Structure 1
């Protein structure tokens, strides 16, 4: 599992002209799932993302109650080392990734997080205003 975590003053996800997820002063989380990920991976990633000290004053979302906008992002597992066309072989297929994505969101909420999401398997417009800019890649 791989997450790109950004501190944002605002972020939103729009699908077909409709805003489906929106936050202010929190974390934008782009989440990629790979073949070997499990429910245990989900729990570990949810803990790390919610408790990572990336916000002002070395605080975490769990410390200050910052909201999270979580967006599925299979392209985090794109490989462009050969040629000009990336491959997506390391990304888990949607049938595997979607339940783990859903479990990740549920694990964050179980920890008390306020979570908004994009929509799995849709073309999304993701907009964000990065703070810092602070961006962190978390790999498990």
Structure 2
């Protein structure tokens, strides 16, 4: 029963309303916590999937890079052999046909594309000098 001097609300009713407000607040808090945890779990799952995908792509890219590097090295060796073969044949043909424009043009094109440096590196020059000195000292 309400206390006549308190305006018609008993202390039990006030306690009940207060308990109800606390219960609703707790329920809202738990609901918000669940929602945030759900979003975090979803973000972590997505991040894990993306990381797996990234790792797979990286492995595929590395494999392709190795394959491309191997093929490029093979092609470079093949081109070097062809170039050397042409230089040998062209040099021989130029001796027989020194006025051949086609041979001179081909030689010029290859010389521009694949310059041959005739300079001897310093360490090799020192080694050659030592060999020459050793040869000169022999009877």
TM-score band (shorter)? under 0.3
Q: Which has the higher helix share?
A: 2
